[in-house]
Structure 1
Amino acid sequence: MSDDPLRVVIADDNPVVRAGLTALLSAHPDFLVAGQAADGREAHEEARRHRPDVILLDVRMPRVDGLTALPHLVPLAPVLMTTYSGETGIVHEALRLGASGYLVHGEFTAEQLLAAVRDATVGRAHLTPTASTALLTAVRATPACTSTCASATNPTPTPGELPSSAHHFPQTPSQAQAVVAHSLLSQREVEVMELIASGMTNQQIATTCFISQKTVKNHINRIFAKLNADNRGQAIALWHALGKAAAHG
């Protein structure tokens, strides 16, 4: 394991918030603030320049906001939302677009922030209470939908050049990619999902469950369809997030 500090880019239009986050991270030798940005475009530029391990991203910023920048940043590094915005639709949309966690200011300690940054590098999501409540509200209020429906209702922007101005924020929750609830899955699918979340490969899952790899793939395809997840990482992040939220609910 590398002893190099985790490199972080902080994006927030409020210089006081940037300074505070920088101070919290810089106080620990395991973290290095590699760059700072005041909007989504600058965040993209800083991420491409510094290749950080994690990006801390605000939602409401001038010119290019966090949700607009998010799909362009996710391919570069795990993105942890750090923001005052706790609205249900925004939390839901941020997770749908690939955020690795959602922390609302005033609801996390310095140690919780450090743990969230560390865990983001291994795909383990952290949500503060407001974000957990918002996500559960969206889950309970939104019926399941096919991936086709989700993409047609809220298409994910294709990574590339960022627009010069911010998009409007979503006013209602997007469909289903964050709809992760144990009640959607069979008992066997829950078992397989737990093994996926533990980091097992298809072969390891097959051995553990005494089933073939083809059967594992069939289970995974059904799990992804029910959760409306496009990939393992997205399913795992939401699974962990909903598990924590349920534990506090």
Structure 2
Amino acid sequence: MIRVLVADDHAAVRAGLVLILGGADDVEVVGEAADGEQAVTMARALRPDVVLMDVRMPRLDGISAARELGGVADVLILTTFDLDEYVYGALRAGAAGFLLKNTDADSLLSAVRLVARGDGIISPSVTRRLISTFAEREDAAERDRGPRPASPPSALALASLTPREREVLACVGRGLSNAEIARELDMAEATTKTHVSRVLNKLGLRSRVQAAIYYGEREG
């Protein structure tokens, strides 16, 4: 069973999400939180597989809550707003996914399953803009700061990866899921998930989305 904590400050929204999630045979809603602070407290106590997190909540916003939950549970951001600041904020905070609330029930359940399996997901409606904006910002940053100096920590971190972990990083950089990596590298999916976790830990990254960006920067 995939254990899910639902965090949203609107009771009606929470009820709708619980109804959708509860209708799946492989998903169990273990708790509901009405704000970010409560979400962090409950996640630390309940240890869910996935926290379905709204962004705009009282006391502590969803992005700040996601940052605090690094290593505790995978966070799937679900919001009405596809603002760039929310998308980038969620990814920097280590969220494993970003979806809009107009996502249909089947897609929501699929996203929860993907995140629980160790994969990442971004709403298709924001993916193209995310890539375009990221590239534009990187180009502007390069012009402003000039040539980027070598970063010894990053170089050392990359050098610490085993050959197999480098292969896994390359697959993550290509956007492959754990199941696809397992097939391509001929190993069990559970082993793949372990390798991905080790890569993230060695590189000091919070999510596979950050790993994909890191790989793309180095290869680009």
Q: Which category of TM-score, normalised to the shorter sequence, fits these structures?
A: 0.5 to 0.7
Aligned length: 171
Measure how far apart 1:198 and its partner are. Answer: 6.0
Partner of 1:96: 92
Alignment of 1:63-102 (within 5 A): 63-102=59-98
Partner of 2:207: 234
Specify every segment of 5 or more residues in structure 1 that has no aligned partner in the other structure, as ranges: 150-188, 206-219, 244-249
Local SS of the residue matching 2:6: strand
Partner of 1:211: none
Partner of 1:126: 121
TM-score by length of 1: 0.60
Q: 2:75 matched to 1:112?
A: no
Measure how far apart 1:74 and its partner are. Answer: 2.5
Identity score, percent: 35
Tell me the distance in 1 between the aligned counterparts of 2:27 and 2:78. 17
Q: 1:33 aligns with which of 29, 37, 55?
A: 29
Measure how far apart 1:120 and its partner are. Answer: 0.5
Partner of 1:139: 134
Q: Which has the higher helix share?
A: 2
Tell me the distance in 1 between the aligned counterparts of 2:116 and 2:210. 11
Measure how far apart 1:56 and its partner are. Answer: 0.4
Say whether the 8 Å CA contact 1:88–1:137 is kept in structure 2: no
1:14–1:238 distance in 2 versus 1, CA, 3 Å: farther
Say whether the 8 Å CA contact 2:35–2:59 is kept in structure 1: yes
Measure how far apart 1:18 and its partner are. Answer: 0.5
AA of the residue aligned to 1:193: A
Tell me the distance in 1 between the aligned counterparts of 2:169 and 2:76. 26
- Measured on the aligned residues, the alpha-carbon RMSD in Å equals 3.3
Measure how far apart 1:122 and its partner are. Answer: 2.5
Q: 1:18 aligns with which of 14, 19, 30?
A: 14
Say whether the 8 Å CA contact 1:100–1:124 is kept in structure 2: yes
Partner of 1:53: 49
Tell me the distance in 1 between the aligned counterparts of 2:9 and 2:169. 42
Q: 2:37 matched to 1:6?
A: no
Specify every segment of 5 or more residues in structure 2 that has no aligned partner in the other structure, as ranges: 146-165, 187-198
Residues 96-131 of structure 1: CA deviation (Å, up to 9, x unaligned): 11000100111x221111111111123211221333
Tell me the distance in 1 between the aligned counterparts of 2:131 and 2:109. 25
1:134–1:8 distance in 2 versus 1, CA, 3 Å: same
Tell me the distance in 2 between the aligned counterparts of 1:198 and 1:32. 23
Say whether the 8 Å CA contact 1:91–1:134 is kept in structure 2: no
Measure how far apart 1:70 and its partner are. Answer: 1.2
1:75–1:190 distance in 2 versus 1, CA, 3 Å: closer
1:137–1:48 distance in 2 versus 1, CA, 3 Å: same
Tell me the distance in 1 between the aligned counterparts of 2:33 and 2:172. 38
Partner of 1:167: none
Local SS of the residue matching 1:143: helix
Tell me the distance in 1 between the aligned counterparts of 2:87 and 2:45. 28
